[in-house]
Structure 1
């Protein structure tokens, strides 16, 4: 341990009862404040890297700034450029900045040091979201680990991949690697152990975590992984043809010279933030959101992913770590809002709803496969109100469940005997009924909602949760806590 780290810990102990706590990072001194409702200190908005802007905006992150005077780490609501959506979990006071690479650190009020570290990657289809989307004060009541949340570049800013030097791809994933390196360099100053880091994520954050597990650029930066409701083999996780995707979207934005790769690159480099974030891609029927991580061409700079996740898993050429996979019983409920419109389109041409990672030799083969899949889920009946649950099952499988089960199988075949898997199916009387049924189901990321400080997206007052849900929260938090501390999940009897 460095001598100045010891000095910081002594200082922190002296100031433990004060409103502010100051630590010294590699960038300079940082001051955090007591959390208003929990017995911990919160450090918000610390720059962990610098997002390049202008014509360099698709490149890897640059080093973080440094300072001499104390940096007041207060919450400024900074988010990365993204579409504006009417979502209840997106507060109105958020501030969009192109240089948005900030980290939040939550430290329990304790004199203990060398604490475990829990780094959370937010979800949002690689298109929306921010580090402060979730709060985990109840998970931290054990006071034996630190939580880290952060922003990373999204959408076109984060995942345009042209294979050129100025737009090589995976900027958003390289942001995440930069964050993990920041944790390695700085977390001891907050009382954390850089050799005891658990990386977790939900939805697209889960897919990102699952990719980080396979990337050589992130090797050694974390020691356990919790991917929840998203995997590296899902269709939405990796772009199959990123240049073609860039061309398709450019045409939609009225740019026509798409076959000249450098003209295409210049178009995206000169496009405004408003233009680049105009489309959220959420209404696509092929189980992708267009711009996401990709397999990169080596342009002579650091790369994030050089092989497909499937090939890496099959080869076993990755560091085997303890993994806690989880998904909810009815993940496909996140597509239920489209049901009234899509049920007709699915009857007219089901092949439009096949995931984009399926490739066919002919249109005839595509239609034949689509017919077989439709029959598997819906039988000989048309898709309608009486089989809405089958609609949910279909999207549960094609987005989340199948890819995660496949990954678990490949991990086992590669010799990783530290992989845990669970399905979360808990519901109570507060859970809404699935439309057109008398059935309740655990929806997308329901298990993560049980862990964090919320009962629903719109209601975050945990005291209002039912007794049954409070009990389930206790169980799932215990599972996660044990895994964070040991990499092991014991049998829990209730």
Structure 2
């Protein structure tokens, strides 16, 4: 299986068997992994692909040098600096640019397997790739190699200061170095360098589109984006240079000089920087970069103005969940509804909000709630509005862009299943029907904190969605043939017909999810396109 063969590590106890752990001779050097105990695959954990510069931790990272000795890839606990969402504690270090590789035993130089590369979500503020959340066994059993990568989030990944040293989008550039490492090394693990599918959820899905929009070389062959798009409102950073000043002041260093603030923060403990950023509640996200000579950039114009030539002739799988914004209102006390200003606040994230658009706001309001006063009785209406504005319609725009730019096959889905493994609803004990944002993750990945075996119904959804995703990675077609497991044929969309697969307790194929609501938004955007933030006539 492996390039240098198998290295004796330890003796098994039950039957006197020898346990063999893999050693791979890659261009990056010798890398030793572990045998998994929950399936027929090997794990290579915490492989560094890049290094953060010690004197400029907010700037671009540099590629990891070749290993001089055997690297023991045994530890996936490293996290980039952030507030960890499970314990709500500040964790992490800058020695975090690592990836995990999970390789089925049948992979070899003669039998190369397709590669799935996972880019996690988390609003560009949190997220990491350990098996605690992203256990690989459901995916690798389908004979694909799975890779999950860390990248810097928050201020270390997305300070955008309009300087050559910190131009912005460093976290996305970390991902580029990871993808280059995978391109250069994955063949040594038995991976097919010509079958690399990048997949991501939320910020991870948006990241994939940023890579397709960028001028960097093409580093993958196919893409799966789950509830993520560069069209999602409010993603791009607007207030940029003031962030370091505010964070430094929060830590007791007052200055009006951004360079001084950054120099102070570069020498400050990373956990203090994250704590101050969190206390201030200042979001730090991707931005439009100012161009500098000899400095590579990801994004220098608003996505709405850009074509995506790298999408030509690639296969993409794109979708969203049917109740994306369920959690925005499910816990809201009844008395708070009357004070909401949701329609105006939402439109302000997407449009330049002038008096003319202020009048148009009432059209949106009437479409979703008529002449009713906001109240708890309209909870579902508000969930639909926010889900449409923030996810469903932006993703419809994404589908249209893929078609316009000549993508080969564009598969569209909606995840609607409500079971015992819905990723977010289960953790927050939400029983309302539907799938909230990120709920599908509990069916793609083995969650280490889940101690109970999946129910029969949940196992069927696990089997189906992992088969669909890995079929796409292998064949560019999620249903190359129908079967008892996948009884329907899922066809790609066309200019005329937006076919989609509804993933629920049963699989079903239909056209144009929420067609009346999407048609409303299409017309609204067309009428007001000159007011879209960043829009310019071509």
Tell me which interval the TM-score lies in, with the shorter structure as reference length: 0.7 to 0.9
The C-alpha deviation readout for 1:428-479, integer Å capped at 9, x for no partner, is 478769x9x985111112333322224xx95264x2x232222222221221
Change over 3 Å in CA distance of 1:460–1:52 after alignment to 2: farther
Deviates more, 1:405-414 or 1:377-386: 377-386
Change over 3 Å in CA distance of 1:460–1:62 after alignment to 2: farther
Q: Hey, what's the Cα distance between the residues in 1 that align with 2:367 and 2:247?
A: 33
Shift of residue 333 of structure 1?
1.9
Shift of residue 346 of structure 1?
4.7
Change over 3 Å in CA distance of 1:471–1:280 after alignment to 2: farther
Shift of residue 27 of structure 1?
2.9
Equivalent in the alignment of 1:77: 77
Equivalent in the alignment of 1:449: 442
CA contact 1:162–1:265 (8 Å) conserved in 2: no
The C-alpha deviation readout for 1:103-126, integer Å capped at 9, x for no partner, is 111111125432111100011111
Deviates more, 1:480-489 or 1:342-351: 342-351
CA contact 1:57–1:157 (8 Å) conserved in 2: yes
- Superposition pairs for residues 314-325 of structure 1, below 5 Å? 315-320=307-312, 321-325=314-318
Equivalent in the alignment of 1:39: 40
CA contact 1:58–1:168 (8 Å) conserved in 2: no
Secondary structure at the counterpart of residue 220 of structure 2: coil
The reply to whether residue 156 of structure 1 matches residue 160 of structure 2 is no
- Superposition pairs for residues 421-432 of structure 1, below 5 Å? 421-428=412-419
Change over 3 Å in CA distance of 1:10–1:248 after alignment to 2: closer
Shift of residue 65 of structure 1?
3.5
The C-alpha deviation readout for 1:55-89, integer Å capped at 9, x for no partner, is x112111121433321111125100001244x26x
- Superposition pairs for residues 200-239 of structure 1, below 5 Å? 200-217=199-216, 219-239=217-237
Shift of residue 158 of structure 1?
0.2
Q: Hey, what's the Cα distance between the residues in 1 that align with 2:458 and 2:399?
A: 28
The reply to whether residue 295 of structure 1 matches residue 288 of structure 2 is yes
Change over 3 Å in CA distance of 1:244–1:370 after alignment to 2: farther
Change over 3 Å in CA distance of 1:282–1:267 after alignment to 2: closer
- Superposition pairs for residues 326-405 of structure 1, below 5 Å? 326-336=319-329, 339-340=332-333, 343-344=336-337, 346-347=339-340, 351-354=344-347, 356-361=349-354, 364-365=355-356, 367-405=358-396
Q: Compute the TM-score of the two structures, normalised by the length of structure 1.
A: 0.84
Shift of residue 221 of structure 1?
1.0
Equivalent in the alignment of 2:528: none
The reply to whether residue 477 of structure 1 matches residue 470 of structure 2 is no
* Aligned partner of 2:103 among 99, 103, 107: 107
Change over 3 Å in CA distance of 1:96–1:273 after alignment to 2: same
Equivalent in the alignment of 1:121: 119
Secondary structure at the counterpart of residue 50 of structure 2: coil
Change over 3 Å in CA distance of 1:115–1:429 after alignment to 2: closer
CA contact 2:167–2:290 (8 Å) conserved in 1: yes
Q: Hey, what's the Cα distance between the residues in 1 that align with 2:250 and 2:335?
A: 22
Shift of residue 213 of structure 1?
2.1
Q: Hey, what's the Cα distance between the residues in 2 that align with 1:248 and 1:368?
A: 35
Equivalent in the alignment of 1:411: 402
Shift of residue 384 of structure 1?
2.5
The C-alpha deviation readout for 1:191-223, integer Å capped at 9, x for no partner, is 111221000011111111222222221x32100
Q: Hey, what's the Cα distance between the residues in 1 that align with 2:247 and 2:358?
A: 26
Equivalent in the alignment of 1:9: 3
Secondary structure at the counterpart of residue 147 of structure 1: strand
Change over 3 Å in CA distance of 1:295–1:425 after alignment to 2: same
Secondary structure at the counterpart of residue 274 of structure 1: helix
Equivalent in the alignment of 1:139: 139
Shift of residue 267 of structure 1?
5.3
Q: Hey, what's the Cα distance between the residues in 1 that align with 2:417 and 2:63?
A: 44
Equivalent in the alignment of 1:3: none
Change over 3 Å in CA distance of 1:474–1:57 after alignment to 2: same
Q: Hey, what's the Cα distance between the residues in 1 that align with 2:280 and 2:331?
A: 8
Change over 3 Å in CA distance of 1:49–1:135 after alignment to 2: same
Q: Compute the TM-score of the two structures, normalised by the length of structure 2.
A: 0.78
Shift of residue 349 of structure 1?
7.2
Deviates more, 1:172-181 or 1:13-22: 13-22
Q: Hey, what's the Cα distance between the residues in 1 that align with 2:166 and 2:66?
A: 27
